[in-house]
């Protein structure tokens, strides 16, 4: 039993050293197209949504990358699903209206590196999920459900052959 426990611990410690690394940088978030949660543009969404997006990318990235790989993402623009339609009467002017004509968008550059530092993939991505409103939404309390689904789809195909 003692040998089995030592074996399990060595497997856990051995795989931890090979785990994937993910780094996320938001470049100039004050000019992001749409990261607010109010029509008047109070920019509070930066304080709430950007850390949540970063944590999601870190968590999902570690699941989707192979051991030893590292991913560096520099996000340059975000446009959340939906829009504030300021022409609506009070109190609806501060409600994000989610329709198919307002898809989530994200622009970023990335580098996928092997364990030895060689670049496996790199480039600039302009993600747009035009079919976001056809997704079966299983979580009605997540404000970033559609953005997270778009990011997850991209991360899952990252190691696929082109």
**What's residue 112's pLDDT?**
97
pTM (2 decimals)? 0.81
- 100: how many CB neighbours lie within 10 A of its CB? 11
Domain boundaries, the chain: 19-157
**What's residue 10's pLDDT?**
46
Write the pLDDT tens digit of every residue in 19-41: 889 999 999 998 888 876 555 55
**What's residue 139's pLDDT?**
74
Q: Please provide residue 33's backbone torsions phi and psi, each rounded to the nearest 5 degrees.
A: -60, -45
Counting as low any pLDDT under 70, the low residues of the chain are: 1-18, 36-43, 86-89, 92-94, 162
CA distance to 16, 51, 91, 150, per residue, from 43 (Å): 38, 14, 19, 23
Q: Dihedral of CA 23/138/154/97: which sign? A: negative
- Token pair recorded at residue 112: 């996928």
**What's residue 130's pLDDT?**
94
């Amino acid at each position: 039993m003692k040998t089995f426990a030592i074996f399990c611990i060595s497997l856990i410690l051995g795989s931890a050293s090979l785990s994937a690394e993910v780094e996320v940088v938001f470049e100039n978030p004050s000019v992001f197209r749409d990261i607010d949660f109010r029509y008047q543009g109070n920019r509070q969404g930066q304080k709430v949504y950007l850390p949540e997006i970063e944590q999601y990318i870190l968590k999902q990235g570690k699941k989707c990358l192979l051991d030893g790989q590292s991913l560096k993402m520099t996000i340059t623009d975000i446009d959340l699903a939906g829009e504030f339609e300021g022409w609506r009467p009070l109190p609806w002017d501060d409600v994000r209206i989610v329709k198919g004509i307002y898809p989530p968008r994200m622009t970023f550059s990335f580098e996928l590196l092997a364990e030895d530092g060689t670049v496996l993939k790199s480039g600039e991505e302009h993600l747009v999920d035009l079919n976001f409103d056809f997704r079966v939404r299983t979580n009605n309390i997540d404000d970033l459900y559609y953005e997270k689904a778009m990011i997850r789809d991209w991360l899952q195909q990252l190691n696929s052959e082109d």
